[in-house]
Amino acid sequence: MAAAEPKRVRGRKRPAPLSPDRLEILVTAAKKSLEDDKAEDIKVLDVTGRASYADRIIIATGLADRQIQAMATHLQETLAKEGMKLKRDAIQASSEWVLIDCGDMVIHLFKPEARETFRLEKMWGDDSPKAESGSGYEPV
């Protein structure tokens, strides 16, 4: 039986899913990178089975543009050391928010005001449908 083809996401082929162990290694590395860069209020959301585009969402706050840009750069370097090379279009940035699409893991870096506006924790946390735990960290 042939392996399933990766899903297409907005006109591009989605990479094959990561193994649960590999995903946890990448989540841990990303979280450590954010902690090293003094990101605030880091949350890891397990959205397995609830989001079609990812199994983990990481949300963190930076206080200044330079801090958020440094966090994004260091995340890219950290993930590359772990063997994950991001495509050029994997990073989307605005003045208030940086989104890094790592396939099964999506990272959002917000300024405080934008984080409060978008409230992703409320959308994907415990109050949302089918919140699950069991992955070494508590779902939000």
Span 91-106, pLDDT tens digits: 888 889 999 999 899 9
Mean pLDDT over residues 49-76, rounded? 94
| pTM score of the predicted model | 0.78
Question: What pLDDT does residue 134 have?
Answer: 39
Strand, helix or coil at 80?
helix
pLDDT tens-digit series, residues 25-51: 999 999 999 999 999 999 999 999 888
What is the average per-residue pLDDT within 123-129? 67
Structural domains in the chain, sorted by start = 18-117 (3.30.460.10)
Contact 111, 97 (CB under 8 A): yes
